[in-house]
Amino acid sequence: TVVGDGRPAPPPADPPGGWTEPREPVPAGMLAELTYRCPLHCTYCSNPLAPSGGELFTEDWLRVLDQARDLGVLQVHFSGGEPLLRTDLTALVARAHRLGLYSNLITSGIPMSDAAIGSLAAAGLDHVQLSIQDADPAAGDAVAGLRAHARKREAAALVRRYGLPLTVNVVLHAGNVDRLAEIADLAVGLGADRLELAHTQFYGWAWRNRAALLPTADQLARADEAAAGVKERHGDRVEIVYVAADYHATRPKPCMRGWGRRQLVVAPDGGVLPCLSAAQLPGLDVVDVRAADLAWIWYDSPAFNRFRGTAWMPAPCRDCALREVDFGGCRCQAYQLLGDAALTDPACDLSPHHGVLAGLAARAERVAAVPRRLPR
Ligand code: SF4
């Protein structure tokens, strides 16, 4: 990393306790959700509908970072809400850097200033992931609930000025998916090294607003074609990731690359979760990171062992050749759509409940026939 004045960021030192050999499974990544506060109010936000109050103090997060490194974590994603609202963000990035963790800031870009991004770069921040809502400024601002579009362009310019690698993340939905190509061109023009074009995942507010957000089958077919065109136009210079739409799929996504297998989430209130939506699952005994060591929570807590591995799987997953490829899909999606987190994700067409998704997709066609609340 090179900071704004041309000086390289200080190299990371060995962690205070030295390096330890991690046990399997090793959580390569930690999502540190610093706050649920956010100046934007995106209609597809995955934040919980009723987040619990309170946020960890700085010293709590510093201890979490130390414990994460001991556990074998290599990457920390500072997220939210909007992590730039935390006044201790630079201190947390600096600690992550000192521990040798690769740090990624997942941000809306608001509020971002030259001073803020400069101090984060100097502290050793490795990467920025910036969200944009649309290529059409008015449509994007309507989804964000704030005049955000122009400020996001400025934020991207600041990130590039400090020489930080930039991923642009775009959530696709019925209101913007027909502009996928323009959105991709905008992201490339902003200097993105990597572009994520991801169809909405229906958790949190997206679940509540799914009738307005679900694209039609025709829209999805056009989007798939547009995404292929974007890869052809920009794929030699920019890494392009296109995340398919769940509700029109025949196979589920390997959620979090397997429950308790590669990643963990620390929520703003200290709850440690196998995925960012797991707090909604009834009976999941979520442990607060202030009450137990992160290693115990990861290896031994009932919550992380509830759906770890394959022993918990019902038919048809338990005998399926793909059970260690997609891990039976998403537990939260099974719970939201079927009322039971221990069932096969209905996104899989081998699930006896796959028809539920066809019903939702048909609903999108009916909703498309009436005027949308979201701008097109
Ligand atoms: Fe994946 Fe289960 Fe479907 Fe097999 S049956 S493809 S393991 S979700």
User: pLDDT tens, 84-120?
Assistant: 999 999 999 999 999 999 999 999 999 999 999 999 9
pLDDT at residue 189, as a whole number: 97
pLDDT of residue 9: 54
Task: Give pTM, 2 decimals.
Answer: 0.90
**Closest residue CA from atom 7 of ligand 1:** 323
**DSSP-based three-state secondary structure for 79:** strand
Distance 244 CA to ligand 1 centre (A): 17
The pLDDT of residue 2 = 40
- Taking the C-alpha atoms of residue 132 and residue 141, their distance in angstroms, rounded to an integer, is 10
Distance 353 CA to ligand 1 centre (A): 12
Say which residue the tokens 């797991």 belong to. Answer: 278
pLDDT of residue 358: 81
Mutation test residue for ligand 1: of 317, 319, 351, the one with most atoms within 8 Å of CB? 317
The pLDDT, as a whole number, for residue 227 is 97
**Ligand 1 atom 8 nearest Cα:** 328
pLDDT of residue 363: 76
Ligand 1 midpoint to CA 172 (Å): 25
For residue 127, the tally of other CB atoms under 10 A from its CB is 19
Q: What is the pLDDT of residue 47?
A: 85
Whole-Å CA distances, 189 to 75, 165, 195: 27, 14, 11
Determine the atom of ligand 1 nearest the C-alpha atom of 320: 4
Kindly give the number of the ligand 1 atom that is closest to the alpha carbon of 316: 5
- Distance (angstroms) between ligand 1 centre and the Cα of 354 equals 11
**Of all atoms in ligand 1, which is nearest to the CA of residue 349?**
3
Query: Any residues with CB less than 8 A from the CB of 56 and at least 6 apart, and which?
Result: 34, 64, 266, 268, 269, 270, 289, 290
Neighbouring residues of 53: CB distance < 8 A, sequence distance ≥ 6: 269
ipTM above 0.90, yes or no: yes
Residue 46 confidence (pLDDT): 86
Residues in the chain with pLDDT values less than 70: 1-22, 50, 370-376
Atom of ligand 1 nearest to the CA of 345: 8
Residue 187 near residue 140 (C-beta atoms within 8 A): no
Class of residue 322 by CB neighbours under 10 A (exposed 0-12, middle 13-18, buried 19+): middle
